C-alpha cells in the first residue's frame, strides 16, 4: 500500500501545478487587458500610439535635398503664414493659416496631420463625386477652410504646397492606411446640447479664441467674418467635435467627448461666411465610378 502515498503525492502535485498555471494565467490576462485598455485609450485621445509612431516620421523642411529645398521651404511658409505668402487668395489680414488646423505645417500628429497625403492621393471623394488629386484637394481648403479663392493648379502656390506635402510624406508607402488619418466622427451617439456647449465655450475656449469667437493674439477666430465658411469641413459638428476633443485646448486637451460634441454644436450655430463656389469643384464624370465602392 505504499504506492498509494506516491499516487496521492502525484495527484497533489498535479493539482498544485494546474492551480499555479491558472493563477499565473489569470494575473497574466488581467495585466494584458489593462495594458490593451490603456493603449486604446491613449490611441483614442491622442493619436501618438506606438504603431503610428513607427510610420510617423516627417522630415524637416530644411533637410530637403537641395534640388527641391527652396520649394519645400516656400510650401512650408505658405502653410504656416498663409496670408503673408498667399495673400492674393485669402483675406490679407486673415488670422487663419493652413497651420491653424494642420499644426506646424501639417507635421504635428496633435492636429489634423497632413503627413502621408502625398502617398494617399489621388483619391475618390464623395463631395466631388470624382477622383481628386492633391492639388484639387488643396484648392478646396483655400475655398472653404480659408474662406478664400483657389490659386491656379499650375501656379507657384499650389505647386510649392505639393512639393512640400510630398516631402513630409517621405517613406510612407503609397496608399498606406494612416493611423492618424482624419477620422469621420467619434462614433458617440450623444446629441449635441448647444446650451451646455455655450458654457463649455465660455469656461474653456474663450480665453484663447475670444468671447465672441473673434480670435485673440493667441488663437485664430472660430466664427464670424474672419473664420472658415459654412462649406468647410470644420463646419461639420462631427469634424469640429473630434478636433476639439483630441486637440483643444492646444497642447492640453481636456474635454470629454460629450463636451466636445456640445461645444461643436454651439459653434456650429454661430454666424460665419457663406461658401460661394468660385470654381467648378464637381468635375464632369465621364465613366461612373460606382464599382468597388
Ligand atoms: C479651419 C480649419 C482648416 C484650415 C484653415 C485648413 N484646413 Fe485643410 N482640412 C481641414 C479639415 C477639417 C480637413 C478634413 C475634413 C474634410 O474632409 O473636409 C482638411 C483636409 C485637408 C487635406 C486632405 C487631408 C486628407 O487626409 O485627406 C489637405 C491636403 C488640406 N486640408 C490642406 C490644407 C491647406 C493647404 C490649407 C491652407 C491653404 C488648409 N488645409 C487649411 C481643415 C482645415
Ligand atoms: C490655450 C489656448 C487655447 C484654448 C483654451 C483653445 N484653443 Fe483652439 N486653438 C488654439 C490655437 C493656438 C490654435 C491654432 C493653432 C496654431 O496656429 O498652431 C487653435 C485652433 C483651433 C481651431 C482651428 C482653427 C480655427 O480657429 O478655426 C478650432 C476649431 C479650435 N481651436 C477650437 C477650440 C475649442 C472648441 C476650444 C475649447 C474647447 C479651444 N479651441 C480652446 C488655442 C486654444
Grid coordinates in use for 23? Answer: 493563477
How high is the pLDDT of residue 242? 96
Name the residue of 164, 233, 236, 243 to mutate for ligand 1: max ligand atoms within 8 A of Cβ: 233
User: In sequence order, what E strands does the chain have?
Assistant: 123-125, 130-132
Confidence of residue 35 (pLDDT cuts 50, 70, 90): very low
- Three-state SS at 123: strand
pLDDT in tens, 107-157: 999 999 999 999 999 988 776 667 889 999 999 999 999 999 999 999 999
* Residue 231 CB contacts under 8 Å (≥ 6 apart), including other chains: 143, 144, 275, 277
Give the sign of the dihedral formed by CA 26, CA 32, CA 38, CA 44.
Answer: negative
27 has a pLDDT exceeding 60: no
**Which of residues 127 and 159 earns the better pLDDT score?**
159
Any atom of ligand 2 within 6 Å of the Cβ of 220: yes
- For ligand 1, residues with CB inside 6 Å are 82, 96, 98, 100-102, 112, 114, 117, 137-138, 141-142, 145-146, 161, 181-182, 228, 232-234, 239
> 275 — alpha (psi -120 to 50), left (phi > 0) or beta?
beta
Q: Which ligand is nearest to the CA of 168?
A: 1
What DSSP state is assigned to residue 144? I
Encode pLDDT of 227-280 as tens digits: 999 999 999 999 999 999 999 999 999 999 999 999 999 999 999 999 987 766
- pLDDT for residue 44 is more than 80: no
- Where does the chain hold its CATH 1.10.760.10 domain(s)? 61-167, 194-268
Look at residue 19 in the predicted model and tell me its pLDDT.
56
Q: pTM score, two decimals?
A: 0.85
Q: Is the pLDDT of residue 55 over 50?
A: yes
Whether the predicted pLDDT of 89 surpasses 80: yes
Mean pLDDT (whole number) for 78-88: 96
SS3 (DSSP) at 190: coil
pLDDT in tens, 202-234: 999 999 999 999 999 999 999 999 999 999 999
**In the chain, % of residues over pLDDT 90:** 67
Q: Is the pLDDT of residue 163 over 70?
A: yes
CA 217 to chain centroid, in Å, comes to 24
CA of 125 to the centre of ligand 1 (A): 14
pLDDT of 43 strictly over 60: no
pLDDT of the residue at 266: 98
Cell 513630409 belongs to residue: 168
With contact defined as beta carbons under 8 Å apart, do 136 and 153 qualify? yes
CA of 145 to the centre of ligand 1 (A): 7
pLDDT the model gives residue 117 = 97
Ligand nearest to the CA of 79: 1
Packing angle of the helix pair 257-268, 237-247 (nearest 10 deg): 130
According to the CATH classification, is domain 61-167 in 1.20.20.10? no
**269, 197 Cβ separation under 8 angstroms:** no
Q: What is the pLDDT of residue 282?
A: 57
Q: 30 pLDDT band (50/70/90 cuts)?
A: very low
- Say what the pLDDT of residue 278 is: 72
Nearest ligand 2 atom to alpha carbon 221: 26
| pLDDT higher than threshold 90 for residue 25 | no
- How many helices (H) and strands (E) in the chain? 11, 2
Mark 243-278 as b/e (b = at least 16 C-beta within 10 Å). bbbbbbeeeebebebbbbbbbbbbbbeeebbeeeee
CATH architecture of 194-268: Orthogonal Bundle (1.10)
Provide DSSP, 194-223: HHHHHHHIIIIIHHHH-TTS---SSS--SS
CA of 249 to the centre of ligand 2 (A): 6
Peptide bond into 37 cis (omega under 30): no
Amino acid at each position: 500500500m505504499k504506492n498509494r502515498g506516491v499516487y496521492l503525492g502525484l495527484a497533489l502535485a498535479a493539482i498544485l501545478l494546474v492551480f499555479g498555471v491558472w493563477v499565473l494565467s489569470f494575473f497574466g490576462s488581467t495585466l494584458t487587458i489593462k495594458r490593451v485598455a490603456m493603449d486604446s485609450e491613449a490611441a483614442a485621445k491622442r493619436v501618438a500610439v506606438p504603431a503610428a509612431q513607427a510610420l510617423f516620421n516627417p522630415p524637416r523642411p530644411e533637410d530637403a535635398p537641395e534640388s527641391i529645398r527652396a520649394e519645400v521651404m516656400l510650401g512650408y511658409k505658405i502653410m504656416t503664414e498663409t496670408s503673408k505668402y498667399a495673400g492674393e487668395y485669402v483675406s490679407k489680414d486673415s488670422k487663419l493659416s493652413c497651420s491653424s488646423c494642420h499644426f506646424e505645417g501639417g507635421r504635428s500628429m496633435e492636429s489634423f496631420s497632413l503627413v502621408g497625403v502625398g502617398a494617399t492621393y489621388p483619391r475618390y471623394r464623395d463631395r466631388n463625386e470624382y477622383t481628386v488629386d492633391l492639388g484639387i484637394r488643396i484648392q478646396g481648403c483655400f475655398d472653404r477652410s480659408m474662406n478664400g479663392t483657389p490659386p491656379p493648379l499650375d501656379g507657384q502656390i499650389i505647386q510649392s504646397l505639393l512639393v512640400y506635402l510630398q516631402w513630409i510624406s517621405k517613406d510612407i508607402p503609397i496608399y498606406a492606411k494612416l493611423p492618424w488619418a482624419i477620422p469621420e466622427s467619434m462614433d458617440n451617439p450623444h446629441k449635441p446640447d448647444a446650451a451646455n456647449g455655450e458654457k463649455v465655450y465660455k469656461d474653456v475656449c474663450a480665453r484663447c479664441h475670444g468671447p465672441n469667437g473673434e480670435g485673440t493674439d493667441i488663437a485664430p477666430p472660430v466664427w464670424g467674418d474672419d473664420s472658415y465658411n459654412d462649406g468647410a469641413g470644420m463646419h461639420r459638428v462631427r469634424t469640429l467635435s473630434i478636433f476639439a476633443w483630441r486637440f483643444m485646448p492646444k497642447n492640453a486637451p481636456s474635454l470629454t467627448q460629450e463636451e466636445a460634441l456640445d461645444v461643436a454644436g454651439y459653434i456650429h450655430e454661430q454666424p460665419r461666411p457663406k461658401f460661394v463656389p468660385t470654381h467648378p469643384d464637381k468635375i464632369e464624370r465621364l465613366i461612373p465610378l460606382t464599382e468597388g465602392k
